[in-house]
Amino acid sequence: MAKIMVVEDEVVIRQLIMEELEKWQFDTIGTTDFHQVGADFEAENPQLILLDINLPVFDGYYWCQKIRETSKVPIIFISSRNTNMDMIMAMNMGADDFVTKPFEIDVLIAKINALLRRSYNYVESSNETLVHNGLTLNIDNSSMSINDETIDLSKNEYRLLYILMKNHGKILSREKLLRALWDDERFVDDNTLTVNINRLRRKIEQTGTAGYIETKVGQGYIVP
Amino acid sequence: MNHLKTLLGFLKDRWLLLAAWLILFVLTVLVFWLIPHSPLDWGTVGYLFLMQCVLLVFFLAVSFLAKRRFWQKLTPRSGENLLQNYLQGARSVEEERIERYINQLISEHQELMQQVVGNQEEQKEYIDSWVHEIKVPLAASRLLLHAVEFDIPDDKFILLENELNRIDAYVEQVLYVSRLDSFSKDYLVQEVSIKSVIQPVLRNQANYFIQKNLHYKVVGDDQPILTDEKWLSFIFSQLVSNAVKYTPDNGQLTIQIDKDPQGTYLRLIDTGIGIPPEDLRRIFDKGFTGENGRKTDTHSTGLGLYLAKNLAKELGIELTAASTVGKGTTMTLFFPLLSYYEEIR
C-alpha cells in the first residue's frame, strides 16, 4: 500500500492523522526532526506527503520547494493559514492540494485517494471489499455478494450498508445514517431512510440470510 | 462679500484703537480750544481730522494686508488635510505664537496617530495569529472526536460536534471582521460554479438540518459566476445559518438559482418566522438584533448579516432581503453580469 509522510509539528494532530491513515491501510511515516525533512524524504521515498506550513526551523514552503527540486511526489498542504495568498503561494511552490485546519478527516482521505489515483494510475486495488458475517460489499462497483449471489445496490443502499458494516457491532442512530445519505440537491428525510433500510433488508433476505440488519427501537440500526 | 466680511472683522478687532484715536483727537481739539485766544476754528479742526483720517486709513490698510496674509493661512481650503500642513511665514510676535502653538498641536497629533495606528496594526496581527493558533487545537479536537465517534453515545457525539462547529464559526467570524478593511489584499476573483460554493456550506450545517428536520432543495441549473469563492461561501454560510436558526422544525428551505440578462440570482427562501417590516431596513446594520434576535436561545450578535452585506458589497454582489412575518424570508444575492459597456464606463 502507498506510503505517506506526515510532516506536522503538532504531536496530537500528527498522531491522529497517522492512526486514521493506518486504518485505511496506508503506511505512514511521521517526521520528528524538522531539520532534515528533506533527508527523511530521500530516505523513505513516500508516495505522498502531507505538509504543514508553520513548522519549526524551516517552513513548509521551503521544504516543498526543496522536494520539488528532485521529485514530483504529490504534496498536500495542511494549514490553519487560509488566505488566498497562502494557497496561491503553496500552489506556486508545487503543491497539489491545500486543506485548511480544522478539516474533516474523510475529506482529507478522499483527497489523498484521488491524488494517488491520478499520480500513480492506481486501479484502486480492484479487490477492495468489506467483509462481515458472510456478506461481502464490493466497494468499487457498489454491489454485494452473499450466499454466492451478487446483487447491485443503489447509491443510498450502498452508503447505508457501507457505514453499517464498517461500524458493525455498534448502534448507528438515524441522525448519523441521515448524514451518510446526505444529498447536495435535496434533503433526505426519515422516510427515505426507512425505505432504503427496508429495501436493503429485502435484498439480503432474498438470498436466504435473515436479520442481517437489526432495528434498535428508539436508537437506530445495527449490523451485529 | 467675503472680503467685506474679512474687512469688517478686521475693523471690529481694532475697535479699541479706533476709539482711542477718536478720544485723543477730541482731547487734542479740546485742549487747543481751552487755550485763551486760541486760533482754533472749524476749518482747522476739519483739516486736522481729514489729515489724521488719511494717515489712519493708510496705517490700517497696511496692517490689514499683513493680517490678511496670515489669516488666509488659517482658512481651511476644501480638500486640504489640515493635520499635515505645518504653518509657516509668521511675521509678528502674535503670529509667531499662534504658529508655534498650532505646529505643536499638529506634531503631537501626528505622534498620537502613529501610536494608535501602530497599536491597531499590532492588535490585528495578534488576532490573525490567535485565529491561526486556536485552529490547531480545534483541528486536533475534531480529529479526536472523529476517532471516538463510534465509542461515545450518538447524541453526545452530535452535541459535541455542534459545539465544535460553533466555535469554528465564531473563530471564522473574528477573522473576517479583522480582515474586512484590508479586504483588497486578500481576494481572488475567478469563475466558480454556484453549486460548488453552496454545497459544502449546506453539508457543513448538515447536523442542524437533520436535527430540525429542515427540508431543503436546490432549484435551478448551476451557473458560473465571477467572484471569490472563499468570501462568497462565508457570506452564504451566514445566510444559511440564519435561515436554519429562524426556521422552526420541519420547515422548508429552497435555494434557487436564476439567470436573466442582468445577471445571476441566488435566492435562499425559508419558511421561518419572518422579519417585522420595521426591522427589515435595519437587519444589515452592525449590532442590530431586532425583535427576532431578542428572543431567547438564538444568540444573535448582530454581526453576521452586517458582515455578509459588507463583504458582498466589496465583491460587487447585491444582497437584499424580503420577508413576511410568519411566512418566511427570502435573501437574494445578485451577481450582476459584467458587461464591456460597464467596464468602459
Looking at the fold, whether A7 and A50 belong to one and the same domain comes out as: yes
Tens-place pLDDT, residues B96-119: 999 899 999 999 999 999 999 999
Q: How many domains does the structure of chain A reveal?
A: 2
The pLDDT-based confidence of B339 (bands split at 50, 70, 90) is: low
Looking at the fold, whether A115 and A145 belong to one and the same domain comes out as: no
Q: What is the DSSP letter of B303?
A: -
Using the structure block, give the residue that is written with the C-alpha cell 486760541: B38
pLDDT recorded at residue B298: 64
CATH match for B189-344 among 3.30.530.20, 3.40.50.2000, 3.30.565.10, 3.40.640.10: 3.30.565.10
- Contact (Cβ atoms closer than 8 angstroms) between residue B227 and residue B187: no
Looking at the fold, whether A114 and A188 belong to one and the same domain comes out as: no
Q: Do A102 and B132 touch (CB under 8 A)?
A: no
> Per CB distance under 8 Å, which residues of A are interface residues toward B?
10, 12-13, 16-17, 19-20, 54, 80-85, 88, 101-105, 167, 170-173, 175-176, 178-179, 182, 184-187, 189-190, 219-220
Q: In chain B, which residue's Cα lies nearest the Cα of A191?
A: B213
Q: Is B228 in the A-facing interface, judged by CB distances under 8 Å?
A: yes
Angle CA(B148)–CA(B151)–CA(B152) in degrees, nearest 5? Answer: 90
Nearest to A47 by CA among A13, A65, A78, A71: A71
Nearest to B276 by CA among B323, B242, B240: B323
Judged against a pLDDT cut of 90, whether residue B67 lies above it is answered with no
Final residue before a domain boundary, out of A99, A120, A141: A120
Looking at the fold, whether A8 and A97 belong to one and the same domain comes out as: yes
Chain B residues inside the 8 Å CB shell of A77: none
CA distance A101 to chain B (A): 6
Could you give the CA distance from residue A48 to residue A122 in angstroms, rounded to a whole number?
Answer: 13
Question: Where do the structural domains in chain B lie, given as residue ranges?
Answer: 118-178, 189-344
Final residue before a domain boundary, out of A93, A120, A147: A120
Final residue before a domain boundary, out of A120, A141, A169: A120
Looking at the fold, whether A140 and A181 belong to one and the same domain comes out as: yes
Average pLDDT, chain B: 87
- Contact (Cβ atoms closer than 8 angstroms) between residue B220 and residue B195: no
Q: Is B210 in the A-facing interface, judged by CB distances under 8 Å?
A: yes
Q: Do B154 and A220 touch (CB under 8 A)?
A: yes
What is the SS3 assignment for B256? strand
Judged against a pLDDT cut of 80, whether residue A96 lies above it is answered with yes
Q: Do B158 and A175 touch (CB under 8 A)?
A: yes
Q: Which domain holds residue A31?
A: 3-120
Higher-confidence position of B325 and B182:
B325
Mutation to test the A interface, candidates B124, B154, B202, most A Cβ within 10 Å: B154
CA distance A72 to chain B (A): 27
Tens-place pLDDT, residues A152-202: 999 999 999 999 998 888 888 888 899 889 988 889 988 999 999 999 999
The DSSP element (H or E) to which B335 belongs, if any, is: strand B328-336
pTM for the whole thing? 0.75
Tens-place pLDDT, residues B1-41: 577 888 888 888 889 989 999 999 999 888 888 888 877 78
Q: Is B186 in the A-facing interface, judged by CB distances under 8 Å?
A: yes
Looking at the fold, whether A52 and A156 belong to one and the same domain comes out as: no
Looking at the fold, whether A113 and A203 belong to one and the same domain comes out as: no
Q: Do B135 and A84 touch (CB under 8 A)?
A: no
- Residues 6 or more apart in contact with residue A109 via CB below 8 angstroms: A20, A21, A24
Judged against a pLDDT cut of 70, whether residue B55 lies above it is answered with yes
Looking at the fold, whether A112 and A140 belong to one and the same domain comes out as: no
DSSP string, chain A: --EEEEE-S-HHHHHHHHHHHHHTT-EEEE---TT-HHHHHHHH--SEEEEESS-SSS-HHHHHHHHHHH----EEEEES---HHHHHHHHHTT-SEEEESS--HHHHHHHHHHHHHHHHT--TTTT-EEEETTEEEETTTTEEEETTEEEE--HHHHHHHHHHHHTTTS-B-HHHHHHHT--SSB---HHHHHHHHHHHHHHHHHTT---SSEEETTTEEE--
Q: Which amino acid is at B204?
A: N
- Contact (Cβ atoms closer than 8 angstroms) between residue B274 and residue B248: no
Pairing type for strands A143-146 and A149-152 reads antiparallel
CA distance B227 to chain A (A): 13
Asked if residue A102 has a cis previous peptide bond (ω within 30° of 0), the answer is yes
CA distance B247 to chain A (A): 15
Looking at the fold, whether A104 and A10 belong to one and the same domain comes out as: yes
Looking at the fold, whether A82 and A134 belong to one and the same domain comes out as: no
CA distance B232 to chain A (A): 13
Grid cell listed for A35: 531539520
Looking at the fold, whether A197 and A105 belong to one and the same domain comes out as: no
Looking at the fold, whether A115 and A9 belong to one and the same domain comes out as: yes
pLDDT recorded at residue B187: 78
Chain A residues inside the 8 Å CB shell of B142: 102-105
Chain B residues inside the 8 Å CB shell of A17: 143
Q: In chain A, which residue's Cα lies nearest the Cα of B132?
A: A80
The domain that holds A200 is classified in CATH as 1.10.10.10
The domain that holds A106 is classified in CATH as 3.40.50.2300
